[in-house]
Amino acid sequence: MQNHRDNWSSKITFVFAAAGSAVGLGNLWRFSYEAGNNGGGLFVLIYLIAIVFVASPVLLAELCMGRHTSKDAIGSFISIKPGTKFRYIGHMGYIAAIMILSFYSAIAGVSVGYLYKAISGEFSILSQTESVETLVKQSQNMYNALAADHLSMSILIVIFMLMTVYIVSKGIAGGIEKFTKIFMPILFVILGIMIIRSLTLPNASDGVAFYLQPKISSLNIDLVISAIGQAFFSLSLGMGTMITYGSYLSKKENLPQSAGMIALFDTSIAVLAGFMVFPVLFSLGMSPEQGAGGMFVVLPILFSKIPLGQIFAILFFGLLAIAALTSTISLLEVPVAIMVDNRNWNRKKASWMLGAVTLLFAIPAAIFEDFFSLWNQIWGTVALTVGGLLISIFVGWVWKPENALREMDPNSKLLKIGRIWAFLIKYFIPVLILIILISSVINLF
């Protein structure tokens, strides 16, 4: 069978494409949602530790598998060890991609809805309001009205999925990186401006304290799982996205360096997002434990306190929607590549069919809050953590770090880092995740 694959056009292009997958609603919306509901500082600390010692090594492992085999999320396991049961990771990734896409596209739909609100000037009533309580009420009502309007929500989700499907059906190399190269720098600037305003609001320091001071007393097993799950989610790991992206990667690429850059980009945006959200939240006297809509309630109020706020709101929600789109593209790409490589479907048919299946779950995720948060927990946290565990076992014990290192570092220049990576992948990550998963199962009883 002929296996023709496009390659990314240059190194920086690849880093941008992968960063486009990684940077998305996960950094802005999900990170602040999870940090707020898990006590703030301690969650952030464990998340950062997990990025360095757990998620980044798995990122490197996935990229390495993908490039070595030039295969999709199922094929790359088989091509390293024919017949291996580990190929079911790819099958799980296939389902996880569709399920994550479903609740993700509900929030992406809200982002597009908020872009529309910003353009139509709906937020302007907020700038005429003085009292903090009324301000919060008005903004909450705006969010609730959209969330309860099932027809509008469904239309927004369908619009968003149509864009995703259209781009994926046209093939991978054309476009994602170009978007990302332009939007990433603008996103940094806008975040910077919003953070300055947020930090200068009354009582902003309470928010900073919540965000940065770890309260050891809030330590519990769910918090640790959520933080590790968020690290996997944010870097698009644990289900084959980065295997699939790595498969389009040329042999010239320096994998450890690319992985480091992607992780750094992605983590900085998440950390900045926290500085944008929590000071406003505390300044408004709101509890950090907000539902999925927290960020959407808080930000319009922040814009109402910035000169030319409407323009910033349009830019921000526009960028949020684009960031979400470059991530949904990478999510849909996983099952599409599998159908194309294994079932000989053509790309167009695979994209449209799988997009339609996603909608079947996306609409209930938008309508029922419990379904949404259950899906977020099962697929966004647990499935990815289990996936990350299995991938590190596969690379550490089946493929073996020596072989992986030959792929990522043919001239053995990275002896020391290579040895640390091998230790993390083979022992540290599997043992750590196993302990955490087992204690959380015990905790259930």
Tell me which residues touch ligand TRP (CB under 6 A).
21-22, 24-27, 100, 233-234, 236, 239, 241, 327, 330-331, 384
CB of 307 to ligand TRP, least distance (A): 30
27/56 with CB nearer ligand TRP:
27
- The Cα 433–Cα 427 span in angstroms is 10
276/331 with CB nearer ligand TRP:
331
Nearest one of 27, 45, 50 to 276, comparing CA atoms: 27
CB of 374 to ligand TRP, least distance (A): 17
Buried b (16+ CB within 10 A) or exposed e, 367-389: eeeebbbebbbebbbbbbbbbbb
- The Cα 235–Cα 47 span in angstroms is 12
CB of 399 to ligand TRP, least distance (A): 21
Structure tokens at 338: 């599998």
Residue position matching structure tokens 């580990």: 86
139/230 with CB nearer ligand TRP:
230
147/331 with CB nearer ligand TRP:
331
- The Cα 179–Cα 177 span in angstroms is 5
Q: Are 327 and 100 in contact (CB under 8 A)?
A: no
CB of 391 to ligand TRP, least distance (A): 12
CB of 47 to ligand TRP, least distance (A): 13
Q: Which residues contact 413 (CB under 8 A, 6 or more apart)?
A: none
CB of 329 to ligand TRP, least distance (A): 9
CB of 94 to ligand TRP, least distance (A): 12
CB of 270 to ligand TRP, least distance (A): 8
Structure tokens at 149: 């309007």
Q: Are 429 and 392 in contact (CB under 8 A)?
A: yes
230-156-340-326 Cα dihedral, nearest 10 degrees? -50
DSSP annotation of 216 reads: G
69/330 with CB nearer ligand TRP:
330
Count Cβ atoms below 10 Å from residue 218 Cβ, excluding itself.
Answer: 13
With residues binned 3-state (H G I as helix, E B as strand, rest as coil), the percentages for the chain, rounded to 5, are: 80, 0, 20
Q: Which residues contact 272 (CB under 8 A, 6 or more apart)?
A: 188, 191, 192, 195
Which residue minimizes CB distance to ligand TRP? 26
- The Cα 157–Cα 174 span in angstroms is 24
25/223 with CB nearer ligand TRP:
25
26/294 with CB nearer ligand TRP:
26
CB of 101 to ligand TRP, least distance (A): 8
Could you tell me where the DSSP H helices lie in 200-292?
204-212, 221-234, 241-246, 255-283
44/301 with CB nearer ligand TRP:
44
136/391 with CB nearer ligand TRP:
391
- The Cα 282–Cα 368 span in angstroms is 28
CB of 17 to ligand TRP, least distance (A): 12
201/292 with CB nearer ligand TRP:
292
DSSP annotation of 82 reads: T
CB of 138 to ligand TRP, least distance (A): 29
234/290 with CB nearer ligand TRP:
234
CB of 202 to ligand TRP, least distance (A): 31
Half-sphere exposure of 164 (CA within 13 A, CB side): 37
- The Cα 395–Cα 67 span in angstroms is 14
26/75 with CB nearer ligand TRP:
26
Q: Are 243 and 76 in contact (CB under 8 A)?
A: yes
Angle at 144 between CA 128 and CA 294, to 5 degrees: 80
